[in-house]
Structure 1
């Protein structure tokens, strides 16, 4: 258990109303200024295992349309063994086939209800500790993630991630090749987070399930920080029949299916590892898997999904705001839909990014997150959005020169990465 010296035991009346400054509240307006906003690797969640590999998409699972490819380059696998043959898996149909692939993209708005350790509702100075996601839904749907804008990789306006994919496969794809999301807003859900009884303990182990910062008018919440393990357990179903979590409820209501790319949108809700000083995860993509049945030939059902937080201005630097997290996760889900967990797809040679990250997976956003030019401002519908630039497949393949659009290694801003990663030993050992 991680000691949380800055957390405090909640002081509440029977009605859950605070009578003094709540010490799990964050009063420092600059609390997040020194944090490292990032994505996180989230292992698939589910209740049955299965894996397979096939030339045109992953065989033996019930999931969204996808295709496979491979490349040859010297590198080391996860165990440090030399390897030259690498496989990747991508959402959509092969670029050589051309045409437009449409993928349903449910957006599930999730508000956050902060409770005390006994599950009672809380309020501070008369304001309920309830963070409503509603104001952020419409601007998310109107963003470049789901609406068309102009890019050098397409002769017609298109969505942000499709533009990135077209740059990546520009010299292989037919001119009419597109992979587009069809967004739809689903039933709003609520995540209830109970506080850890030990939060604020002055002796012995202490841990807080969440912390919060209030808006200038005292209402909830400028932002919420939540323990990533607690959050994940509250997001995904504990059993196949669990309908109490946002993902479980959406699955059982038929509002997200195996053929969709589903997003769970939160209001300024960021995650930490163990202690709020180890912050901040702004999003992750993964999949929930459930047993099949006779209707789908008993194939494993794989629901590709992401958690992404809306990010209000001024919380983080480097332009990390509004849909930065969502664009990051959607782009990565296109390029690594099954998070390197099914077969050997999307395990890459070890790479080291300019931001210092050392990994061996096809996580296109991780390479660039936190850099000075991490985001690519796009003004549309009267609003300037900040989607994140992405590394292209050629960067992971160590291609020299790159066969992407214009010899690029990143897109839309091709100046962020001007060459591939240098080959690395396992774990980037010297």
Structure 2
């Protein structure tokens, strides 16, 4: 695997390199983030990243009808289509009933007033607000923004043994949930990256609706569910992210609508190539063991900032809380308010280097 700086040199994505000494273990770490160098003397400007959004219309050919005590779904033949471009009045309410439109009008892509505690970090997109707070850049012209544009929807049909639908009645959801084997959809996504002609300066997003991924066969709930990921592949290195816009409520009250987008886009911003090293941390959020990279969403999966009501459409958006740079590398915090995460859930850094429990 390329080192972060080598990866940056092999991509046209607008990035900066950083080097820091961790107070958690005394070692020096180097990595890459998207945008302008916040450690420079400026002047600071706007970095805008072209963000093509590809709506994925997904059709599955099997339907679950029973679950065993061991978490295995029994299934029969049946077609179900998950389409983010059409109204879903079962899980959403008019006029905010077209998932793609609701996603585009969210604080992930639209300017919204953000304050972290007593401090305003500006009227901007959520991940930019996070990054401004991350390095105490509120009050400056520093911005890293997504420039979204919607491309034609792509319809994917998966074989019955590689994808299924869980009907609403099985778990009491408002609508069905699709599950696709990640080993099946991953090469499809790589082919789409090539076919659509994206270049490495762009950040393509593949938007799914109420559809998640399994590790292996989709009827084994013990291997489910991946709600999204960010990835970097090829040469020049292309970053991209597929994720679910979820309205089923099956993943709890906090993992809804744009909480998954906040997680994945935040991690892309601060670890675009997936290899920014940190001292070991873990046993928190979705990480049961130890992890050693700068994934700002993983430590706080399931924990959100206060719900944001959009001035554009009045929709109440869920946005995951994200961990600041200083949480990974150690106190004192260089972030806004001296915090370690953008809703102050973390009161200190990640602590002693992680060990297995």
- Partners in 2 of 1:360 and 1:149 — Cα distance? 32
State yes or no: 1:133 paired with 2:84: yes
Map of 1:212 onto structure 2: 165
- Partners in 1 of 2:175 and 2:154 — Cα distance? 17
Greater Cα radius of gyration, structure 1 or 2: 1
- Alpha-carbon spacing, 1:304–1:367, altered in 2? closer, same or farther (3 Å): same
Q: Secondary structure at the match of 1:62?
A: coil
Asked if the contact 1:211–1:276 (Cα under 8 Å) also holds between the matched residues in 2, the reply is no
**Which of the two has greater helix per residue?**
2
Asked if the contact 1:64–1:91 (Cα under 8 Å) also holds between the matched residues in 2, the reply is yes
Asked if the contact 2:286–2:301 (Cα under 8 Å) also holds between the matched residues in 1, the reply is no
State yes or no: 1:225 paired with 2:155: no
- Alpha-carbon spacing, 1:129–1:313, altered in 2? closer, same or farther (3 Å): closer
State yes or no: 1:422 paired with 2:354: no
State yes or no: 1:347 paired with 2:312: no
- Alpha-carbon spacing, 1:338–1:397, altered in 2? closer, same or farther (3 Å): same
Alignment map for 1:4-403 (pairs within 5 Å): 53=5, 58-59=8-9, 61-73=10-22, 84-95=27-38, 96=40, 97=42, 98-115=44-61, 124=78, 128-134=79-85, 135-152=98-115, 154=120, 156-170=122-136, 175-196=140-161, 209-215=162-168, 222-237=176-191, 246-251=192-197, 256-274=198-216, 275-289=220-234, 300-340=235-275, 346-355=276-285, 357=287, 358-370=290-302, 373-380=303-310, 381-399=313-331, 401-403=332-334
What's the RMSD between the two structures over aligned residues? 2.5
With normalisation by structure 2, the TM-score equals 0.81
Q: Secondary structure at the match of 2:176?
A: strand
- Alpha-carbon spacing, 1:166–1:231, altered in 2? closer, same or farther (3 Å): same
Deviation at 1:308, TM superposition (A): 0.6
Map of 1:33 onto structure 2: none
Map of 2:341 onto structure 1: 410
Deviation at 1:278, TM superposition (A): 2.2
Deviation at 1:404, TM superposition (A): 0.8
What is the count of residue pairs matched by the alignment? 315
> Unaligned stretches of 5+ in structure 2?
63-75, 86-97
Deviation at 1:336, TM superposition (A): 0.3
